[in-house]
A and B are shown apart, each in its own frame.
Chain A
Amino acid sequence: MKLYDSVELAARNLRESLLRNSLTTLGISVGVASLVAMLSLGIGLQQLFSRKLQRSLFDTVVVSSRRDLRSFTREQDTEGPAAAESPDLDENARAKIAAVPGVLEAYPDLRFIAELRFEDKPHLTMIAGLPLLDKNSDAFQGMQGKFFSTENAHEVILQKMFAAELLGKHVRNPDEIKVAEVAQPLLSKQMVLRYAEREAGGAAADSASYSVISRELILTIVGVTDLDPDSTRGNFRARLFIPQKLMEGMHAMQAYESPDSTHATSKEAIYSFVVARVNGAGKVESVEQAIKKLGFNTFSILDASHSLQRAFRIVDIFLGIFGSLALTVASIGIINTLVMAILERRREIGIMKAVGASDADVRGLFFAEAGAMGVLGGVLGVIIGWLIGRAINFGTNIYLVRQGFSREDIWAVPFWLIAAALAFSFIVSLISGLYPASRAAKLDPVQALRYE
């Protein structure tokens, strides 16, 4: 018998015992739903943490020259040349780092102490450049105003402690400052930045001389951050941020720049640190290895990321096992339903054999019924699982918002999960159908025809 005939007859048989088959199919649906719901939550949480990690510099590799002995030196940094032979961390090195596969962007870490005048009052603080890529960083959650409009915009974002200082408030605890209150009088106002531009001197390429020229730049305040985007930099922490490209074009004297430092031997700008942003936390390790081969030191918060990924995989496995248990129970329901169907349709099987059905035809028919229940149950289960996941996500977000946190997607149903759940449901159903189908195929037609 051809496959479509088996499927058609199976569909007819399923319709004949609609209630029982519907309940069995519902059992499979519940099994698949629990599997989908649990795994979608597991995957959702994993993706959430992955997003958090990426936003929290887990996708960042900080590169320094081995000549700069202040830089991070770790035991494993054994690849590449020794410190004395390490190349300069200049524009050429930056281009090479940017060309490493997996690197989205490589930019120098530029920061200096500047004098700012706001409403004719001078203020001193550390200023740093920020790439547009940082727009989605968690550090800017709760920011008042907006991020930079362009990569060269004469705009500035203030950390709320500095904003409070501009307004004449002297507070020690950042939690005492409400960002909206300090941002409101400052947004759209202008301030003057005074800084020292470093200009290379002399015509010779190896000239160590350079000039320092005083410059002024008028900046518009576009945002005030609630959090501290530069919290990992300790004493070099900036409280005022301008676009990275604007910062690069200023050629300002760096906070740690002195004539005898390693990078003062060329008229070209030489950086202490270059920050490489990687396309996903998973590529950080390979990017680090590639950069080390170029002769630089690297640093990333990689190990914690690895541990988290491992932990999530284990959680996913356990969630999958719990979800599968429900499907296993459902598969017993399929066996029960089909065995009952054999008893009820014993005579029908005899008739089919009398008019020419082979064992394979009968077996195929019962397989088709099991498979149809599996597919229907799978589809329904995916839909129910999706709804359960959405409901949990919705409920969790209500709780998060009430607790003062921002909304988060803790649930994800990727396409592969839907496909895998459907395939799993179908395969489990077919396996469940093995015994009933084999039993039906082996029925003695004479006995079956006598059955009332």
Chain B
Amino acid sequence: MPSFFIDVGGPGGPPLHRLSLINFCLAHLSSSAAIQISSLCRHYQMGRSTIRAVDGVSLKIGSGEFVALLGASGSGKSSLLNLIAGLDSPTSGSVVVADRDLAALSREELAVYRRHTVGMVFQSFNLIPSMTVLENVELPLRFAEVERSRRGAMAAKALEQVGLSGRLRHRPIELSGGEQQRVALARALINQPNLLLADEPTGNLDSRTGTEVMELIRRLNESLKMTVVLVTHERDLAEKYAERLISLADGKIVADQPNPARAMARGES
């Protein structure tokens, strides 16, 4: 298997290496819409009342786009992200990713989708504390049934890309928050997904470490044209990194607009 990463480097952060862009583009960027959401609803029944976490959302996210889902707590942004991740099933409507309607997939098919198409990072990192850093990153490879002999090298290389090659045998608890999030990022990318879903990735980090992590995500998006969906309640963060800002309230999209600041920054670069 060819190496996934090439070194694209970047100022102020750890060097980032990614796989041949040509292969990646051929494999994953043929479709213009990475995600197509139509009339998506996710309702929960709480006693007699119905919670409308996601309520009739329709949305199209293009391949390689960096989108931020903004909103206050309880606005439905994480619920929408979970539906895109295939962790949750919609009450109605559809989420089509790579021409597959997630609502029509079985539980096993959804697992395969999460394994190969999606990479996720969370606010609370969600690393398994009993495993070393290397083992945490290796974990998705176990489920993907990658040969044992190759897993260690692949995980070590992914950790090297996020600047953690010296921490392979450490446990998550022995790392700083920023380092833990970088481990989570390496884990999310180890199976070469074409969609990165980040749920408040800087929520538990100080501003400097948060910036480091966001720079890493931005470089992934730019270098690989990897589609990134970022959930955040920090408007400044969203405006700094996302190309498009989608605001939610009460499970509905209340605003969907391009980010002029980011477009300007791209234009300058």
Docked Cα-Cα span, A356 to B112, in Å, equals: 6
Q: Is the CB of B128 within 8 A of A361?
A: no
Of all chain B residues, the one with the shortest Cβ separation from A8 is B142
| Shortest Cβ gap from B113 to chain A (Å) | 9
Q: Of B88, B120, B126, B191, which contacts A347 at CB under 8 A?
A: B126
Q: Is the CB of B108 within 8 A of A355?
A: no
Interface footprint category on A: 20 to 34
Write out the residue numbers on chain B whose beta carbons fall within 8 Å of the beta carbon of A449: 87, 122, 126
Q: Is the CB of B87 within 8 A of A355?
A: no
Q: Is the CB of B114 within 8 A of A359?
A: no
Q: Of A2, A348, A353, A445, which contacts B128 at CB under 8 A?
A: A348
Q: Is the CB of A354 within 8 A of B114?
A: yes
Q: Is the CB of A355 within 8 A of B107?
A: no
Give chain B interface residues in 73-122, CB to chain A under 8 Å. Answer: 82, 85, 87-88, 107-108, 111-112, 114-116, 120, 122
Q: Is the CB of A361 within 8 A of B111?
A: yes
Asked whether A356 and B115 contact (CB < 8 A) given A1-B143, A2-B145, A9-B142, the answer is: yes
Asked if A352 is at the interface of the complex by the 8 Å CB criterion, the answer is yes
Q: Of A9, A347, A352, A359, which contacts B108 at CB under 8 A?
A: A359
Q: Is the CB of A351 within 8 A of B128?
A: yes
Asked if B19 is at the interface of the complex by the 8 Å CB criterion, the answer is no
Asked whether A361 and B143 contact (CB < 8 A) given A355-B187, A356-B111, the answer is: yes
Asked if A152 is at the interface of the complex by the 8 Å CB criterion, the answer is no
Q: Is the CB of B131 within 8 A of A355?
A: no
Write out the residue numbers on chain B whose beta carbons fall within 8 Å of the beta carbon of A348: 128
Write out the residue numbers on chain A whose beta carbons fall within 8 Å of the beta carbon of B187: 355
Q: Is the CB of B130 within 8 A of A12?
A: yes
Asked whether A357 and B87 contact (CB < 8 A) given A351-B126, A446-B82, A449-B122, the answer is: no
Write out the residue numbers on chain A whose beta carbons fall within 8 Å of the beta carbon of B64: none
Docked Cα-Cα span, A352 to B188, in Å, equals: 12
Write out the residue numbers on chain A whose beta carbons fall within 8 Å of the beta carbon of B51: none
| Shortest Cβ gap from A79 to chain B (Å) | 67
Write out the residue numbers on chain A whose beta carbons fall within 8 Å of the beta carbon of B120: 354-355
Of all chain B residues, the one with the shortest Cβ separation from A12 is B130
Q: Is the CB of A446 within 8 A of B87?
A: yes
Interface residues of B (CB under 8 A from A): 82, 85, 87-88, 107-108, 111-112, 114-116, 120, 122, 126-128, 130-131, 139-140, 142-145, 148, 187-188, 191
* Given A354-B85, A355-B120, A446-B87, 9 new contacts (CB under 8 A): A1-B142, A5-B142, A16-B130, A355-B139, A356-B115, A356-B140, A358-B143, A359-B107, A359-B111
Docked Cα-Cα span, A164 to B210, in Å, equals: 107
Asked if A311 is at the interface of the complex by the 8 Å CB criterion, the answer is no
Q: Is the CB of A353 within 8 A of B114?
A: yes
Of all chain B residues, the one with the shortest Cβ separation from A452 is B124
Give chain A interface residues in 330-357, CB to chain B under 8 Å. Answer: 347-348, 350-357
Q: Is the CB of B139 within 8 A of A352?
A: yes
Q: Which of A16, A356, A360 has the most CB of B within 10 A?
A: A356
Write out the residue numbers on chain B whose beta carbons fall within 8 Å of the beta carbon of A354: 85, 87, 114, 120, 122, 126
Of all chain A residues, the one with the shortest Cβ separation from B135 is A12
Residue pairs across A and B with Cβ atoms less than 8 A apart, 12 shown, are A5-B148, A12-B130, A16-B130, A351-B126, A352-B139, A355-B120, A356-B111, A356-B114, A356-B115, A358-B112, A358-B143, A449-B87
Q: Of A5, A16, A351, A353, which contacts B111 at CB under 8 A?
A: A353
Write out the residue numbers on chain B whose beta carbons fall within 8 Å of the beta carbon of A351: 126-128
Q: Is the CB of B191 within 8 A of A358?
A: no
Chain B interface, >50% SS class? helix
Q: Top 9 A-B pairs ranked by shortest CB distance? A: A356-B115, A358-B111, A356-B143, A355-B140, A5-B142, A445-B87, A351-B126, A16-B130, A356-B114
Docked Cα-Cα span, A385 to B131, in Å, equals: 36
Docked Cα-Cα span, A350 to B128, in Å, equals: 10
Docked Cα-Cα span, A283 to B112, in Å, equals: 62
Write out the residue numbers on chain B whose beta carbons fall within 8 Å of the beta carbon of A360: 108
Write out the residue numbers on chain B whose beta carbons fall within 8 Å of the beta carbon of A350: 126
Docked Cα-Cα span, A51 to B261, in Å, equals: 96
Of all chain B residues, the one with the shortest Cβ separation from A13 is B130
Write out the residue numbers on chain B whose beta carbons fall within 8 Å of the beta carbon of A445: 87-88
Q: Of A9, A13, A353, which contacts B87 at CB under 8 A?
A: A353
Of all chain A residues, the one with the shortest Cβ separation from B119 is A355
| Shortest Cβ gap from B87 to chain A (Å) | 5
Give chain A interface residues in 341-389, CB to chain B under 8 Å. Answer: 347-348, 350-361
Q: Which of B87, B148, B188, B191 has the most CB of A within 10 A?
A: B87
Instruction: Flag A1-34 by CB within 8 Å of B: 1 or 0 each.
Output: 1101100010011001000000000000000000
Write out the residue numbers on chain A whose beta carbons fall within 8 Å of the beta carbon of B145: 1-2
| Shortest Cβ gap from B56 to chain A (Å) | 20
Of all chain B residues, the one with the shortest Cβ separation from A442 is B107
Write out the residue numbers on chain A whose beta carbons fall within 8 Å of the beta carbon of B114: 353-356
| Shortest Cβ gap from A355 to chain B (Å) | 4
Write out the residue numbers on chain A whose beta carbons fall within 8 Å of the beta carbon of B88: 444-446
Write out the residue numbers on chain B whose beta carbons fall within 8 Å of the beta carbon of A2: 142, 145
Docked Cα-Cα span, A354 to B148, in Å, equals: 21
Docked Cα-Cα span, A361 to B140, in Å, equals: 12
Docked Cα-Cα span, A1 to B140, in Å, equals: 10
Write out the residue numbers on chain A whose beta carbons fall within 8 Å of the beta carbon of B131: 12
Write out the residue numbers on chain B whose beta carbons fall within 8 Å of the beta carbon of A444: 88
Of all chain A residues, the one with the shortest Cβ separation from B83 is A446
| Shortest Cβ gap from B139 to chain A (Å) | 6
| Shortest Cβ gap from A238 to chain B (Å) | 76
Docked Cα-Cα span, A446 to B122, in Å, equals: 12
Asked whether A356 and B191 contact (CB < 8 A) given A348-B128, A446-B87, the answer is: yes
